[in-house]
Amino acid sequence: MPTRFDIRQAITGDAGAACALLRRSIEVGCKADHQDLPAVLEAWLGNKTSANVASWFSTPTNHALVAESAGQLLGLCLLTQAGKLALCYVAPEALRSGVGRALLLAAEEQARAWCIAKVHLHSPASASAFFERNGYVHAGKDKSCFGLECDLLWKQLDPKGQPAEVAADRAAARKRFCNCA
């Protein structure tokens, strides 16, 4: 597995390769979650088409990123302006190589640029420990849109890189509702 990779913004031309990566990551990397149950797997993969991925990548309120090495996609993630990390998948052969962490950090940087204070996501149980190692808090179980029981996770982002007045406004708003810092 290559140790050097680049993170860049996804383009619609990446949709075919990204779709293939998503499907393989779910089929192989998330086997413990879907347990080869056809109904769960079909529901999870149902919207993972090249056309849908191209649409997700071209939606202006989404920020899609890919990791690649030598022209091969190794991972992808997608952040919405609502602060949801809608996708974060790594090719099975690229797991534990730093790809997922690099994608996550880049998505969080975009969230800060959008002045998003908290990122949230639904994670299959097999991936939750990864997010927890990266500062996400487990907030309980929830059903994903395709019916799989998932972990709901969130992370409060520090205001690093935000203008001082934005951070001050957020701090003042928190104090109006509670005495926490």
Task: Check which CATH number belongs to the domain holding 125 and give it.
Answer: 3.40.630.30
Tell me, yes or no, whether 1 lies in a domain: no
Tell me, yes or no, whether 121 lies in a domain: yes
Q: Which domain holds residue 107?
A: 6-177
- Alpha-carbon gap, residue 60 to 49, rounded angstroms: 19
Closest CA relative to residue 102, chosen from 143, 66, 156: 66
Q: Is the dihedral of CA 45, 49, 50, 56 positive or negative?
A: negative
What is the per-residue pLDDT for 154? 97
The one-character DSSP state at 135 is T
Number of structural domains in the chain: 1
For the chain, what is the mean pLDDT?
87
Tell me, yes or no, whether 16 lies in a domain: yes
Helix axes 15-24, 50-58, angle to 10 degrees: 120
Tell me, yes or no, whether 77 lies in a domain: yes
Q: List all residues 6 or more positions away from 167 whose beta carbon is below 8 Å from its beta carbon.
A: 159
Given pLDDT bands bounded at 50, 70 and 90, which one contains residue 13?
very high
Tell me, yes or no, whether 153 lies in a domain: yes
What is the per-residue pLDDT for 83? 97
Summarize the confidence of residues 73-87 as an average pLDDT: 97
Using the predicted structure, report yes or no on whether residue 33 has a pLDDT greater than 60.
yes
> Tens of pLDDT along 86-124?
999 999 999 999 999 999 999 999 999 999 999 999 999
What is the per-residue pLDDT for 34? 86
Tell me, yes or no, whether 20 lies in a domain: yes
What distances in angstroms separate CA 69 from CA 1, 73, 91, 94, one per listed residue?
10, 7, 12, 10
The pTM for the full model equals: 0.83
What is the separation of C-alpha 149 from the centre of its chain, rounded to a whole number of angstroms?
A: 17
Using the predicted structure, report yes or no on whether residue 2 has a pLDDT greater than 80.
no
Using the predicted structure, report yes or no on whether residue 164 has a pLDDT greater than 60.
no
Amino acid at 49: T
